[in-house]
């Protein structure tokens, strides 16, 4: 990271292995989805296909056949070592960088699938639906549980989040996931939408910030 408060591009040649996502992990978004607060008993995990990943500031092309597409700005962490059945007290050793990502969601399709009791990966895992920005090394930031982040569209802040509001912390979630999945270097974790998702339109300019450092910058086409 340089002195101009701009995140360093650390994508390098790391391969993205698995994309894990957390659902309903913040009280406000949880209540918005259910009409009342419904805290899950354990982390709600789903995955995106590797073809969902969009990075390096490439534009997001809004699908014209999936109905309403909504943004969900999220804090994202990068796994940096191999691990299985990781105790929560050691989970902090298994990620090394943070960014802001966008979990794009085909909201009407998701609602239709949920109403039928069907999996809703089609509404969350379509091509380009998982945007990530440039990574900030963890050691350059405050305690991850105290991080604030926000998402701007066309210069206006539309989402603000505080990691301390999560139902399930990053460390707790990594420990939980590793009970079933072997974590590998390059895996990434979207930690959930804090509040205030909404639709995107062609020519929207989206920017994401961890604290005051811009990590994410792309356009919708």
State CA 171 to chain mean position distance: 15
Q: Which domains does the chain have, with CATH numbers?
A: 19-53+71-219 (3.90.850.10)
Distances (CA, A) of 42 to 31, 107, 125, 176, 192: 16, 24, 22, 9, 14
Which pLDDT value is given to residue 7?
62
Burial class (CB in 10 A: 0-12, 13-18, 19+), 42: exposed
Locate 63 and state its tokens. Answer: 């699908």
Which pLDDT value is given to residue 27?
80
Instruction: Report d(CA 8, CA 112) in Å as an integer.
Output: 40
CB atoms within 10 A of CB 67: 14
E-only strand ranges, the chain: 19-23, 44-48, 53-54, 69-71, 73-79, 95-103, 105-106, 130-132, 136-137, 148-153, 156-162, 188-190, 198-199, 205-210, 213-219
Locate 84 and state its tokens. Answer: 């299985």
CB atoms within 10 A of CB 38: 11
Which pLDDT value is given to residue 5?
60
Instruction: Report d(CA 76, CA 172) in Å as an integer.
Output: 15
- Digitized pLDDT (tens) for each residue of the chain, 221 residues in all: 444 565 655 444 556 589 999 988 998 655 465 555 577 789 999 999 999 999 999 999 999 999 999 999 999 999 999 999 999 999 999 999 999 999 999 999 999 998 999 998 999 999 999 999 999 999 999 899 999 999 999 999 999 999 999 999 999 999 999 999 999 999 999 999 998 899 999 999 999 999 999 999 999 99
Which pLDDT value is given to residue 118?
94
């Amino acid at each position: 990271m340089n002195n101009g408060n701009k995140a360093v591009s650390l994508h390098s040649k790391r391969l993205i292995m698995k994309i894990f996502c957390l659902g309903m992990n913040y009280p406000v978004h949880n209540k918005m989805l259910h009409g009342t607060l419904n805290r899950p008993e354990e982390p709600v995990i789903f995955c995106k296909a590797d073809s969902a990943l969009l990075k390096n500031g490439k534009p997001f092309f809004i699908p014209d056949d999936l109905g309403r597409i909504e943004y969900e700005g999220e804090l994202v962490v990068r796994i940096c070592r191999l691990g299985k059945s990781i105790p929560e007290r050691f989970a902090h050793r298994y990620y090394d960088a943070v960014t802001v990502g966008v979990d794009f969601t085909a909201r009407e399709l998701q609602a239709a699938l949920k109403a039928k009791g069907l999996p809703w990966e089609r509404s969350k895992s379509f091509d380009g639906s998982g945007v990530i920005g440039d990574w900030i090394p963890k050691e350059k930031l405050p305690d991850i549980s105290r991080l604030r982040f926000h998402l701007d569209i066309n210069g206006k802040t539309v989402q603000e989040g505080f990691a301390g509001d999560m139902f399930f912390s990053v460390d707790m979630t990594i420990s939980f996931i590793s009970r079933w999945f072997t974590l590998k270097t390059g895996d990434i974790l979207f930690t959930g939408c804090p509040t205030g998702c909404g639709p995107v339109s062609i020519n929207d300019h989206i920017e994401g910030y961890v604290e005051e450092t811009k990590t994410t910058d792309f356009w919708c086409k």
